[in-house]
Amino acid sequence: MRDTLIEMPVSLAWFVLTGALFALQVVPQTGVFLMFLLAPYWSIVTVNLGFVSLVGEALFGRVNKAWLLAPALWFGGYAVAATVSHIQFNVLDASFRKQNEGKSVQFSAADTAIVFESKSSSSSGAASHFVRSYDVPVAYEENPNFITARHLAYRIGDRSRCDSIRKDDRYRSSGVNAFGFHENKRFVTNLCVVSGPEDPAGDVVLISEKVERQPHSELLPFDQHTITITQPGGATTELVSGSAAPLQWLPMPVMGCALISSSPAWRCTAGFARESLQGLGAPGAYGSAGLALVAKTLGLRESPASERLASFAGRQAAPNLEPIIEQRLRVTLGVLDRVIADPGAASTIHDYAGLHQRPDLISRRAPEIVTAIVAALDIGHSKSLETGRNLQALLAVLPFAEFEPHASVVLGSLEARSKMTEYMIDHRFLARLGELGGTSLSFLERVAFELRGPKGQSLRTYTLPAIEGLCKAGRDAAHLAERIAVVMNASGRRTDGLYTTAFVALLRLGRPDLADIGPDKASPYRAREYQTWRRTITSDSPSSACRV
């Protein structure tokens, strides 16, 4: 009995430990905590340490030397598998390069546009990559999500163009954006990528891609990318690229479970860690190998944007940006005219893009907008109420002199309704009602403290803009200070913007004494800002102080 125990390797405890850890991960209740502790990677240490210690036990005579066969098979067998995996990668890479050899397409960036299809997820960002990496003035990507165009155009812009786009809300509402980017792991500070909805004019070279997962072997699964370049005359050229990750040279067994949010499911796997993903047919992973092939086939040489900085100085990155804005605005005004004529028609906040930055256009239609809001409230179904809220948001951008008479009519319609729901009011419109003074107080009080959801719950999302409205009413709302203090005391600085809004409202209502007794008065969270508000906001402060 004693000899048998001596022959049993103590090293087997490492494998028992590995199995126990994996079993604990299979159970979601314990596995989720182990997942955060990176437990799937612990097996790399426990399994390899088990085999190494088994070698030590055999060499030092602790167990029979026949046990050396197990680590020999483990490390030797894995070395063979890793070698085969790398050989397969090299063979595939050479095969893809051979298929692409000698292929070229006549292309001139001056009179032909590059367009990338959007069917493959690996094509996402391809147009942006091209204008950043090659001397191409513009590249297009299919994008059917815009009303004004079926493509997004990408260009490089200099700092002045980037700043003007970022500071002007008209651009963003029309789908025009400016993005920063990196080169060689460094952020480029004086350039940006400008994107906006625009369809190409003239001749087009269309780049389409099909991605297929190829099992090839268990040692080297890979993705194959079949890229088709379609020239203006219809002639096509096919390229092949892909990506794969060979096995690491040392065995790195990974065993564990993780939450798959897309399913959702708790999924357990076991396998060997691989090297980082590498391109097949050309250098670069995650689709960049295919882009490099496309550029080579089109005769484009790599030219980083930062090295072409001089060519962007003073150049309009996208001279047609203003027409994009005007086109989007025409569509928006068409939606507005439609819902004015039929307040029961469905519309979303996205249908009014660009109009919030043009109070002059809203002012011309303000009387009709007010009539449509009242009619939408009278119709009362979900579509009309959403349309009514969107129209209220338009009124909220008007200057006070124009806002006051129109808002008073809408306020009267809202007050006359015995049953109020949160779906009837826009947040921005609600917050501005306080500027009407005493005439809006009873309605704001009702929304802030009495409005309830379908299950009787307090509608805190409406409480905040209503209290902001009371803040704007100033001294007229001073008699409601105690009720505002109750709301503040029920919230907290760190987790609730309602606390901030109520705090500032109490100051402007002339009740700093109530603001000072908040439960978080000693909290360090944004302490400097709270101290500044406490020192500077009084009942004489302008209503703009209420927006924090």
pLDDT digit string (tens) for 107-150?
Answer: 988 889 999 997 655 557 899 999 999 989 899 999 888 888 89
Average pLDDT of the chain to the nearest whole number? 89
Q: What percent of the chain has pLDDT over 70?
A: 93
Distance (Å, rounded) from C-alpha 356 to C-alpha 429?
A: 13
What are the φ/ψ torsions at residue 263 (nearest 5 degrees)? -75, -55
Query: Token match 């437990």: residue?
Result: 39
Q: Of 5-9, 14-18, 74-78, give the lowest mean pLDDT range.
A: 5-9
- The β-bridge relationship of strands 265-272 and 191-197 is unpaired
Distance (Å, rounded) from C-alpha 230 to C-alpha 206?
A: 5
H or E element at residue 481: helix 481-489
Distance (Å, rounded) from C-alpha 80 to C-alpha 76?
A: 6
Q: Long-range contacts: 519-527, Cβ < 8 Å, 24+? A: 519/489, 519/492, 520/492, 520/493, 520/494, 523/492, 523/493, 523/494, 525/493, 525/494, 526/493, 526/500
Q: What is the residue-wise DSSP string for 221-287?
A: -EEEEEEEEE-TTS-EEEEEEEEE-PBPSS--EEEEEEEETTTTEEEEEEEE-BPPPEEESSS-TTT
Higher pLDDT, 495 or 391: 391
H or E element at residue 472: helix 460-473
Q: How confident is the model at residue 215 (pLDDT cuts 50, 70, 90)?
A: low
Cite the beta strand spans of 299-414 per DSSP E. Answer: none
The reported pLDDT for the residue numbered 317 is: 45
Average pLDDT over residues 307-332: 72
Higher pLDDT, 121 or 263: 263
The reported pLDDT for the residue numbered 312 is: 60
Give the pLDDT confidence of 266-275 residue by residue, as tens digits. Answer: 999 999 999 9
Distance (Å, rounded) from C-alpha 460 to C-alpha 448?
A: 8
For residue 280, the cross-strand partners are 242
Q: How confident is the model at residue 1 (pLDDT cuts 50, 70, 90)?
A: very low
Q: How confident is the model at residue 522 (pLDDT cuts 50, 70, 90)?
A: confident
Closest CA to 195 of 324, 293, 379, 301: 324
What are the φ/ψ torsions at residue 358 (nearest 5 degrees)? -125, 70
Q: How confident is the model at residue 524 (pLDDT cuts 50, 70, 90)?
A: confident
The reported pLDDT for the residue numbered 342 is: 95
Query: Token match 């990155």: residue?
Result: 317
The reported pLDDT for the residue numbered 123 is: 59
The reported pLDDT for the residue numbered 84 is: 95
334: pLDDT strictly greater than 80 = yes
- The β-bridge relationship of strands 186-187 and 182-183 is antiparallel
What are the φ/ψ torsions at residue 203 (nearest 5 degrees)? -70, 150
Residues 6 or more apart from 243 whose CB is under 8 A from it? Answer: 222, 223, 225, 277, 278, 279, 280, 285, 286, 287, 289
343: pLDDT strictly greater than 70 = yes
H or E element at residue 156: strand 151-158
Q: Of 4-8, 33-37, 56-60, 72-76, give the lowest mean pLDDT range.
A: 4-8
Neighbours of 1 (CB within 10 A): 4
Q: How far is the CA of 527 from the CAs of 275, 389, 491, in angstroms?
A: 48, 36, 16
Q: How confident is the model at residue 4 (pLDDT cuts 50, 70, 90)?
A: very low
Q: How confident is the model at residue 318 (pLDDT cuts 50, 70, 90)?
A: very low
The reported pLDDT for the residue numbered 2 is: 47
420: pLDDT strictly greater than 80 = no
Q: How confident is the model at residue 202 (pLDDT cuts 50, 70, 90)?
A: confident
- Give the chain's end-to-end CA distance (angstroms, integer): 80
**Which among 8-17, 418-427, 444-453 has the top mean pLDDT?**
8-17
464: pLDDT strictly greater than 50 = yes
Distance (Å, rounded) from C-alpha 281 to C-alpha 288?
A: 11
What are the φ/ψ torsions at residue 110 (nearest 5 degrees)? -75, -30
| Whether 457 contacts 421, CB under 8 Å | no
Q: How confident is the model at residue 454 (pLDDT cuts 50, 70, 90)?
A: low
Q: What is the residue-wise DSSP string for 84-97?
A: HHHHHHHHHHHHHH
Is residue 354 left, alpha or beta, with left meaning phi > 0 and alpha meaning psi from -120 to 50?
A: left
Higher pLDDT, 372 or 146: 372
Q: How confident is the model at residue 466 (pLDDT cuts 50, 70, 90)?
A: very high
